[in-house]
Amino acid sequence: MPTLIINTNTPGSKVPQGFLNEATNVVAEMLGKPASFVAVRVHTDQVMSFGGTQDPCATVDLMCIGKMGPDVNDQHTVTIGNFIQSKLCIPLNRLYINFYDLERHNVGWNGKTFAK
């Protein structure tokens, strides 16, 4: 159930072909989850600034049940940051990544929560 959400002022026309599939695979491999459970959403052309400028920037949210925390989020930051920098040309110092470790009973799918 990992969900990666990227908000960026990068134009949609600058998102490379296959970006969603590549992002899915990066998240699946990083978290050890099946790609069939990974959701990726990219909001391009956002009116946003970072540090007072409108140079390319992003905010990223990663939500998952488990597989996150103080012992792994540093490496997740490197993995996600490097991917976004290489694919969307957003410098590492112009993006924030927020991690949300969700509880199983707070995530629903297929008519039930993951706690059932």
Q: Three-state DSSP class for 54? A: coil
Rounded CA separation 36/7 (Å): 22
Paired strand residues for 95: 58
Tokens coding 18: 């296959």
Q: What are the residue ranges in the chain where pLDDT is below 50?
A: none
The pLDDT score that the predictor gives to residue 63 is 98
CATH of 3-107, one of 1.10.3720.10, 3.40.30.10, 3.40.366.10, 3.30.429.10: 3.30.429.10
> Does the annotation mark 2 as catalytic?
yes
Residues in the chain: 116
CA pair distance 7, 61, nearest whole angstrom: 9
pLDDT of residue 57: 98
Give the pLDDT confidence score for residue 116 in this predicted structure: 87
Catalytic residue from among 2, 34, 56, 91:
2
Tell me how far apart the alpha carbons of residues 44 and 46 are, in angstroms, rounded to a whole number. 5
Q: What pTM does this model have?
A: 0.96
